[in-house]
């Protein structure tokens, strides 16, 4: 049996899942020694990691203008995708929304990391 839920209900399910899953995980904040405006927030063993690349130039002389990047473990994405039966990109956006609200950060890009060993099966 399938149920139709609203977007806000879907967000609520995802937020509750993430809050429960990570309730005992303390974020680990690290400042980038090459740029004091750059840092990362790590949650668990590669479960969710946020990188902020502050304005400036890095080792390869590549200029950065302030980019927030979120890496989400594939197990989280796959579990949520099975739970709410929606596309992967939608799940990634909801995880990014949750993280952005929880830590008051801007997220410009979100990706799965580490890369899956096998293709996702739903």
Domain carrying residue 41: 7-112
**Average pLDDT across the chain, whole number:** 88
pLDDT for the residue 1: 67
Where is pLDDT greater, at 64 or 55? 55
Residue where the block lists tokens 């680990």: 28
pLDDT for the residue 56: 75
Question: Is 25 a domain residue?
Answer: yes
Question: Is 83 a domain residue?
Answer: yes
Question: Is 73 a domain residue?
Answer: yes
Q: Is the pLDDT of residue 61 over 80?
A: no
Question: Is 57 a domain residue?
Answer: yes
Least confident span in 28-37, 48-57, 68-77: 28-37
What average pLDDT does range 67-87 have in this prediction? 93
pLDDT for the residue 113: 95
Rounded to whole angstroms, the Cα distance separating 43 from 27 reads 5
Question: Is 118 a domain residue?
Answer: no
Question: Is 65 a domain residue?
Answer: yes
Indicate the pLDDT class of residue 58, thresholds 50, 70 and 90: low
Indicate the pLDDT class of residue 59, thresholds 50, 70 and 90: low
Question: Is 11 a domain residue?
Answer: yes
Question: Is 68 a domain residue?
Answer: yes
Q: How many domains does the chain have?
A: 1
């Amino acid at each position: 049996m399938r149920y139709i839920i609203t977007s806000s209900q879907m967000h609520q399910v995802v937020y509750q899942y993430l809050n429960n899953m990570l309730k005992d995980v303390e974020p680990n904040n690290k400042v980038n020694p090459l740029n004091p405006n750059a840092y990362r927030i790590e949650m668990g063993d590669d479960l969710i990691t946020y990188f902020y690349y502050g304005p400036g130039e890095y080792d390869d002389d590549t200029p950065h203008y302030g980019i927030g990047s979120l890496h989400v473990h594939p197990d989280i994405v796959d579990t949520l995708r099975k739970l709410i039966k929606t596309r992967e990109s939608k799940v990634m956006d909801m995880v990014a929304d949750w993280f952005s609200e929880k830590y008051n950060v801007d997220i410009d890009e979100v990706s799965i990391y580490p890369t899956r060993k096998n293709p996702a099966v739903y």
